[in-house]
Amino acid sequence: MRYRTIGSTGVKISEIGFGCGNNAVLMVKAPYDEQVKVVRRALDAGITFFDTAFAYGLGKSEQNLGRILKDIGANPVISTKIRLDADCVSDIKAATIRAVEAGLDRLGRERVDFVQLHTRVTMARGAGQRFSLAPQDVLGSNGVIDGFKAMRERGKVGFFGFSGLGETPALHELVDSGEFHGFQCYYNLLNPSAGQPVPKDFSAQDYGLILERTAAKGMGAFIIRILAAGALTADPSAGGGGSGNTLSPGSDYPLDLARTEKVKAALGVAGKDLTQAAIRFGLMHRTTAAVLVGFSNTTHVDEAVACAEMVGLSDAQMGKMRNLWASDFNRSQ
């Protein structure tokens, strides 16, 4: 395993992170013994970063992770995330503090290394099908950042981040504020716009090279959806991506499956090699602190950890991918 520093925080973590989300199912629905087995394998392989959230099983992921780490006596770097809803707007700072305290309680911990906002951020509050916060709600007086800072003063959290989901200009505003130490970045071979140029008419959301802005602010990036909810795996039917929930606009699962076939043809890979190519791609960006991978079993751990010893995609492979990104690859036809 190799280790990287999260931006300018001085905190080093494994470049492969353990994603405790819903898609992999493990930390939400699997039997406790299986959860322990996979967590032990990850720790033994050198994984030191675990990412969870209230939204993963409505607290089950936090509870299960906290119990396992206590039972086996492990103390890795932990990030958890809070989601604020419409009932928070009368006092966002207080709601933030309550949400962080509730997460700590579920984890059974006095402190977490990273706390991140899991609510989408849009230029106007409440836009779209899901509730969202505006940048002012996050950065302004009595907002999310004030709540995070209050918890830091109490010794409950170390550093701050946010999930990079919402409208691109709003996400850029959060990065440019200088208030955050890291963030979770949607970045994969099917939508590389956070770190690679894409056409102006790119049909998926264009994140506008946000990773470059991240570097300028000394932030680290935790890469999410590196496997596109399972589309970039040997068995996409097991990935859970076909639930109908679109995490990032334009990255609809059936369309991502069609895009994946073009990636496989361009790179000449399939099965495990496809999965590992996807992870290697995420590790190539200079701002990447960790690529978060959801594990369903110990084999998944072994396959992901092996990527830490591999080189990135070759110049020839990247050339083929750039040609795809610039072509009708991003269209449904």
Greater pLDDT, 153 or 271: 153
Greater pLDDT, 158 or 242: 158
Asked if residue 47 lies in contact with residue 1, where contact means CB atoms within 8 angstroms, the answer is yes
How far is the C-alpha of 248 from the C-alpha of 41, rounded, in Å?
Answer: 31
pTM flag (> 0.85): yes
Enumerate the β-bridge partners of residue 49.
77
Lowest mean pLDDT: which of 8-17, 21-30, 57-66? 21-30
How far is the C-alpha of 189 from the C-alpha of 219, rounded, in Å?
Answer: 22
242 has a pLDDT exceeding 50: no
Reported confidence tier of residue 239, pLDDT bands at 50, 70, 90: low
Two structure tokens written together for 286: 């200079």
Reported confidence tier of residue 241, pLDDT bands at 50, 70, 90: low
233 has a pLDDT exceeding 60: yes
> 65: which DSSP letter?
H
Enumerate the β-bridge partners of residue 121.
133, 166
Mean local confidence (pLDDT), 105-127: 95
Mean local confidence (pLDDT), 21-42: 93
The dihedral of CA 52, 53, 59, 60: what is its sign? Answer: negative
Mean local confidence (pLDDT), 83-104: 97
Q: What are the residue ranges spanned by the domains of the chain?
A: 3-330
Mean local confidence (pLDDT), 59-68: 96
Tens digits of per-residue pLDDT, 243-262?
445 689 888 888 899 999 99
pLDDT of residue 328: 65
24 has a pLDDT exceeding 50: yes
pLDDT of residue 201: 87
Asked if residue 332 lies in contact with residue 255, where contact means CB atoms within 8 angstroms, the answer is yes
Mean local confidence (pLDDT), 261-269: 94
pLDDT of residue 8: 95
Residue 319: name the closest of 275, 269, 267, 274 by CA: 267
**CATH architecture of the domain with residue range 3-330:** Alpha-Beta Barrel (3.20)
333 has a pLDDT exceeding 70: no
Mean local confidence (pLDDT), 215-238: 89
Tens digits of per-residue pLDDT, 144-193?
999 999 999 999 999 999 999 999 999 999 999 999 999 999 999 999 99
pLDDT of residue 243: 45
pLDDT of residue 245: 55
